[in-house]
Structure 1
Amino acid sequence: MPNTSILFETTKIGNIVLKNRLGVAPMTRTSAYPEGFATDQMAQYYASFAHGGFGLIIVEGTYTDELFSQCYFNQPGMATDEQAKSWEKVVEAVHKAGGAIIVQLEHAGALSQGNRFESNKLAPSAVQPEGEQLAFYGGEGAFPMPVEATKKDIENVIQGFVNAAVRAKSAGFDGVEIHGANGYLLDEFLTDYTNQRTDEYGGSLSNRVRLLVEVSSAVRQAVGENFIVGIRISQGKVNDYEHKWAGKEEEAKVIFQQLGQSGLDYIHVTEYEAWQPAFPDSSRQSLAELAKKYGNITVMANGHLEDPSKASQMVENCTADIITLGKGALANHNWPVKVKNDEPLAIFDQEKILRPNATIKDFELVD
């Protein structure tokens, strides 16, 4: 039997003490009101994970402005004070159930499938995204060609993250997570084939990571020290699962060092299987381990860690401080309780939970 007790140790991020090392990863459910307001159903949904024993809940990607950031119709927003106020009931429900709560702030970039404010898609360069739009989020067919961001657009992106973070703090969230992963705008700047710019935001790796660092630093400055600020990072993307950083560990070193010095409290690394080597042909270290090695801040690991033995091993080996679950949490809102009591875990059923679309289902609202 795996020694899972390490998963139930208290730990700290920034100024917040978590009751354990277990978190729910951000997962888009497109269940907000069309205007981007959080619903009572969402409050019940997120609180169910806290009732189930998770110490940290990271809520789904939330758009930051009324320009290009919205990714999906019925995606929640943090672009207005009214949207922020709608989140207060969600925050209160999670806190009442004993969990800490962070909101992920997202700019869709070229992968936007539903934006009420803009028909064009914004990207670092006019490069058509690979793959096809996600059907369970209402998409169909190829992604359209995006427009290249101007310097003013980039300023607006940064300000959007800043304003959204300030609103999240006012709504009572314990922190924000900047979405720098999975092929969305910030990751598009980081990725060589989607970023073909020739200015200070393109070309070298230091230039490509610049926007992520600037957003992180600006958010930290705006919210102050006593508020959690993290970032999510990945190699793969929702439209390109196989992508790897061409520079391998040297690239990881630059990315994680610069992010680690930008005022962040944590780096949230997501891979298909979090424990696997990030670059199998050159190193045995996982991406989480490289983030720990070079970032010098708290690391969360995500990626098929619903097996308690794999989750606890990553913490025991000091390759991650906190484990976040996505599909494992969807299948078991009370995963921590089940593991603690040595109860069998349910297997994730995509057809049941994410079909015909990704909206929250009534059966998920049972504590």
Structure 2
Amino acid sequence: MTTNTTLEPLFTSFTLGNLTLKNRTVMAPMTRNMSPNGVPGVDVAAYYRRRAENNVGLIITEGTVIQHADSSNQKNVPFFYGEEALRGWANVVSEVHAVGGKIIPQIWHMGARGNVNEYSESEIAAIIEAFAQAAADAKRIGFDGIELHGAHGYLIDQFFWEQTNQRTDRYGGSLIARTRFAQEVIQACRRAVGPDFPIVLRISQWKGVDYKAKLVTTPDELKQFLQPLADAGVDIFHCSTRRFWEPEFEGSDLNLAGWVKQLTGKPTITVGSIGLDGDVTTLFAEGKGANTAGIEGLLPRLAKEEFDLVAIGRALLVDPAWAAKVSSGRTDELIPFNPEALKTLY
């Protein structure tokens, strides 16, 4: 069993500007499809409150869609626009803050109709404005920051990835040029929220349609990719991998979050099968569950400051008390991940 002494790196505070978290645990964003007509209800507020009152340092909500015709392709995904939906989110914030938690929404656009070449520059400008409006609304209703979803083959990542972005205008071409859309989204959001409101950007190499996909293949390419995004105003990079312990490049043990922190100097969040013995693709591809697993391999890397924060997904999805149990040494009480539990999330 992990001792409280060795757990110290995970349960120390973290401060970035005006944001202070009581510990390094983060609830990873996980789509639930439980907001009828796009409106998060009291059950959604209770769901997030339970994680906050059980010692999660930062909650990142499930993906919430901006106001654009293509932004959602799934039923009952929550909106981040409209009076009713925003009122629901304000209640979520209130419930989380009431128990001392911190929470940011993940703001996303699920992707272009076919590929990003279909969007005119005027439509791109409208999408950017919709992201900025969502950011402004997040600040207005009391969230502690925002996360922009730039991973897994969704819209921002479709601009990043050469296979889905073959535009010949200023939004396509070289690796750096393919970051232009994200740069403009980040810059617009920064203008909307001011200098002190945290902006997190989630990135990944893998895509929902291709787990072996790569945006970059070397540290030099990664640096070229990251610098324009950091310069645009990203405060924290959330680096999505399937298995946090896997090296990103040959010749180094650093994972993606480790490399991103080293190359940009920005804080990073690591994620990928933390607390479980199987990665998320076994759920998507095979409908499999996963047993609980220790986090001993995580703690030394966090202590060495390879990354700053640790996002927990499926383990926290099925067990709202995961962080409280781990921090108090009650690992024998942790709940394994069972896909059937997705039908009765609480």
Assess same fold via TM > 0.5.
yes
| SS state at 2:152 partner | coil
- Following superposition, the deviation at residue 265 of structure 1 comes to 1.5
Asked if the contact 1:24–1:324 (Cα under 8 Å) also holds between the matched residues in 2, the reply is yes
Residue 284 (1) aligns with residue 271 (2) = no
Residue 312 (1) aligns with residue 314 (2) = no
- Following superposition, the deviation at residue 330 of structure 1 comes to 1.4
Could you tell me which residue of structure 2 aligns to residue 61 of structure 1?
A: 63
Change (3 A) 1:83 1:122: farther
Could you tell me which residue of structure 2 aligns to residue 175 of structure 1?
A: 145
Residue 103 (1) aligns with residue 105 (2) = yes
Q: Residue by residue, what CA displacement relative to the aligned partner does 1:13-60 show, whole Å, maximum 9, x if unpaired? A: 3311101000100000011121x1111110011111112110110001
Could you tell me which residue of structure 2 aligns to residue 8 of structure 1?
A: 11
Asked if the contact 1:63–1:71 (Cα under 8 Å) also holds between the matched residues in 2, the reply is no
- Which of 329, 353, 356 is equivalent to 2:341? 353
Residue 23 (1) aligns with residue 11 (2) = no
Change (3 A) 1:298 1:246: closer
Could you tell me which residue of structure 2 aligns to residue 145 of structure 1?
A: none
- Following superposition, the deviation at residue 223 of structure 1 comes to 0.5
Relative to the length of structure 2, the TM-score reads 0.89
Q: Distance in 2 between matches of 1:296 and 1:85?
A: 37
Q: Residue by residue, what CA displacement relative to the aligned partner does 1:300-332 show, whole Å, maximum 9, x if unpaired? A: 111112232233233112111010100111132
- Following superposition, the deviation at residue 251 of structure 1 comes to 2.0
> RMSD value over aligned CA atoms?
1.6
Alignment of 1:141-152 (within 5 A): 148-152=118-122
Could you tell me which residue of structure 1 aligns to residue 290 of structure 2?
A: none
Change (3 A) 1:279 1:245: farther
Q: Distance in 2 between matches of 1:59 and 1:73?
A: 17
Residue 323 (1) aligns with residue 310 (2) = yes
Q: Residue by residue, what CA displacement relative to the aligned partner does 1:239-275 show, whole Å, maximum 9, x if unpaired? A: 2222123433222111222222211221111100122
- Following superposition, the deviation at residue 283 of structure 1 comes to 4.4
Asked if the contact 1:71–1:107 (Cα under 8 Å) also holds between the matched residues in 2, the reply is no
Give, as a single letter, the amino acid of the residue that structure 1 aligns with 2:168.
Answer: T
Paired residue total: 323
* Identical positions, percent: 36
Relative to the length of structure 1, the TM-score reads 0.84
